[in-house]
Structure 1
Amino acid sequence: MNSLDGLPVFVRTVREGSFSAAARALDLTPSAVSKQIGRLEDSLAVRLFNRTTRRLSLTEEGAAFYERASRILADLDDAAASISSLRAVPRGRLRVTMPSGFGVIHLLPVLPAFYARYPEVALDIDLNDRFVDMVEEGFDVALRIGDLGDSSLIGRRLAANRRVLAAAPGYLDRVVPPQGPADLAAHNCLVYTYRAQRHDWHLVDEAGAETVVTVGGTLETNNPMMLRGAALAGIGMVLLPLWLIGPDLKAGRLRRVLPDYHWPDSAIQVVYPPGRHLSARVRCFIDFLVERFAD
């Protein structure tokens, strides 16, 4: 007998906890499940289950075999899915999470082009500036701004992320503009609260030398769009990414402050959980983002 024949029945029996439950899940009779398990045990010359009238439990050999058998079946499923996905038309619901500002400013304008190309994909987009555990919360794709660190997620880089100092002309007309990073301590600096050590602004010059200055001001918020709005209103000075305030700088609504300094550069990345293959809808969305936003 080919010992692979009984693997799906064995794995399902372990997961369901009984022969009868596995039989219902596989649309078999309990006796048919029992016979397949028995044949598998005979083929392997080991007992896989301890059977009592009340309980079914794995033997030590059964537990070791289950771990390997599960991986074998998962590899087979992945192989089949990877071949199918090459020919599949992207369709279905895709759960995506990204920072709110990026979603509104950059993703929203290109959604018509995405839907025109992939009309059978439905996007469920969560705009959230907090750190989201995408595996725990069931997201397929996330856009992350910053380094992944020791994350197990797989990332594709879209662009550099540079944060710069800026303020409205009205604010700068009322104060003495800073001449160096140390002068920021005397200014009304508006603080983003989701950043670690929120009051410490790390700034590097064109030579790469880093300076840390402790700042504070009359507004702290977890929403970068609110910081942008407050800066436009002349309330104070901000340290925000170019993808958010670049148009304001070009239009003169905001001005760069200490233009020779910026926060250390990081990356804008699209990330997804590790796996052996990507579904067609995940792959098409990632490729679309890379096409539209890379650099």
Structure 2
Amino acid sequence: MDRFTALTVFRHAVELGSFAATARHLRLSPAAVSKNVGELEAALGVRLLHRTTRRMSLTEAGELYYESVARVLDELDDAEGMLDAMQGETKGSLRVSAPMSLTLTCFASAIPAFLQRHPELSLDLRLDDRRVNLVEEGFDVAIRGTEQLEDSSLVARKVMTLAHVVCGAPDYLERRGTPTHPKQLREHECVGFSLAAHAREWSFSKRGRELRQPVRGRYQVSSSLAVREALRAGLGLGMIPEVYVREDLAAGRLRAVLGEWTPRSATVYAVYPSKRYLVPKVRAFVDFLVAELAGLETAEG
């Protein structure tokens, strides 16, 4: 038995709540996870986990042992992190989850230059608009818009503010009219980004006044770029990050509506597991994002 591996497997099994999640996170087979825990229990001469087909829980001995194991492993991580930070070398494998629309629009073209600056770093960039579980799925960093972290062990660094705009194609506005107040959206076909909290209710502000307006429409889609295509085609109005349609607005393919009523902005964060000493590869990628995205913010953002 490799004692360090067994301790690591045991800790993650406790924190993730299942052998299957532990296997995915550590990239082991479920059989290997079970074997490591079983061998650790045999070596200690005590049962650490109560296991059934439906649930898993710590025994009394397991609770005491887990506290010591977690503390020791954290101290080892801190020691390694301190050395990495001192060496300052950006190397290794970095797994990042990022929204597809934001990535393709705002920073995908800069990734090659980032990797050229760090020749010993490999990047696995997964484009997915869903919210991933960093720990369970083994990501080093996730890019997301969020108001509250779902886990106190995570930290977040702001990378940009996404100002939104409500807009539509000129031919649609000619057919249906140009709204000047959010309440007039009730008379319009509204294309929704289905993964957003505001898919069915859009929020606005004007001189300190807040307003929420329910909207309706025949088309909901889980991609902001697909929303943009629908707007270009004249299907209706949409609330969309301004940077995604900046060129369309400048060229007249789309027109902003609602005058001084400003849609609510979204704050984009780089989220990563909390470490006393931030690993250089994570710091380098987050610094890269801040530099690339900050310049894309509008005056409102």
Q: 1:68 to 1:248 in 2, by over 3 A?
A: same
Query: Which residue type is aligned with residue 106 of structure 2?
Result: H
| Partner of residue 158, structure 1 | 159
C-alpha contact 1:146 1:161 (8 A) present in aligned 2: no
C-alpha contact 2:190 2:238 (8 A) present in aligned 1: yes
Alignment partners' CA distance in 1, 2:229 and 2:40: 63
| Partner of residue 283, structure 1 | 283
C-alpha contact 1:86 1:280 (8 A) present in aligned 2: no
Q: 1:261 to 1:69 in 2, by over 3 A?
A: same
- Residue 252 of structure 1 and its aligned partner are, at CA, apart by 2.1
TM-score w.r.t. the length of structure 2 is 0.75
| Partner of residue 204, structure 1 | 205
Matched, 1:126 2:126: yes
Query: Which residue type is aligned with residue 158 of structure 2?
Result: R
Q: 1:62 to 1:191 in 2, by over 3 A?
A: closer
| Partner of residue 194, structure 2 | 193
Matched, 1:173 2:164: no
Q: 1:182 to 1:274 in 2, by over 3 A?
A: same
Percent identity over the alignment is: 35
TM-score w.r.t. the length of structure 1 is 0.76
Give the unaligned 5+ runs of structure 1.
1-6, 23-48
Q: Secondary structure at the match of 2:134?
A: coil
Superposed CA RMSD in Å reads 3.0
Q: Secondary structure at the match of 1:130?
A: coil
Alignment partners' CA distance in 2, 1:110 and 1:20: 49
Query: Which residue type is aligned with residue 196 of structure 1?
Result: A
Query: Which residue type is aligned with residue 249 of structure 2?
Result: L
| Partner of residue 89, structure 1 | 89
Query: Which residue type is aligned with residue 139 of structure 1?
Result: F
Alignment partners' CA distance in 1, 2:201 and 2:120: 46
- Residue 136 of structure 1 and its aligned partner are, at CA, apart by 2.0
Q: 1:62 to 1:162 in 2, by over 3 A?
A: closer
Alignment partners' CA distance in 1, 2:5 and 2:220: 58
Alignment partners' CA distance in 2, 1:272 and 1:93: 15
C-alpha contact 1:164 1:261 (8 A) present in aligned 2: no
Alignment partners' CA distance in 1, 2:62 and 2:134: 33
- 1:33-76 alpha-carbon deviations (Å, 9 max, x no partner): xxxxxxxxxxxxxxxx6x5xxxx457978963662354134314
Q: 1:197 to 1:166 in 2, by over 3 A?
A: closer
Give the unaligned 5+ runs of structure 2.
11-35, 49-58
Alignment partners' CA distance in 1, 2:61 and 2:173: 74
Matched, 1:222 2:222: yes
Alignment partners' CA distance in 2, 1:233 and 1:254: 10
Moved more, 122-131 or 70-79: 70-79
Q: 1:141 to 1:118 in 2, by over 3 A?
A: same
Query: Which residue type is aligned with residue 270 of structure 2?
Result: V
- 1:170-190 alpha-carbon deviations (Å, 9 max, x no partner): 211222211211111101111
- Residue 162 of structure 1 and its aligned partner are, at CA, apart by 1.6
Q: Secondary structure at the match of 1:190?
A: strand
| Partner of residue 109, structure 2 | 109
| Partner of residue 72, structure 1 | 72
Q: Secondary structure at the match of 1:79?
A: helix
Alignment partners' CA distance in 1, 2:276 and 2:265: 31
Q: 1:85 to 1:260 in 2, by over 3 A?
A: same
Moved more, 195-204 or 157-166: 195-204
Q: Secondary structure at the match of 2:116?
A: helix
| Partner of residue 33, structure 1 | none
- Greater radius of gyration (CA): 1
Alignment partners' CA distance in 1, 2:149 and 2:66: 34
Matched, 1:143 2:143: yes
- 1:193-229 alpha-carbon deviations (Å, 9 max, x no partner): 1123632112212x12122222112311111111001
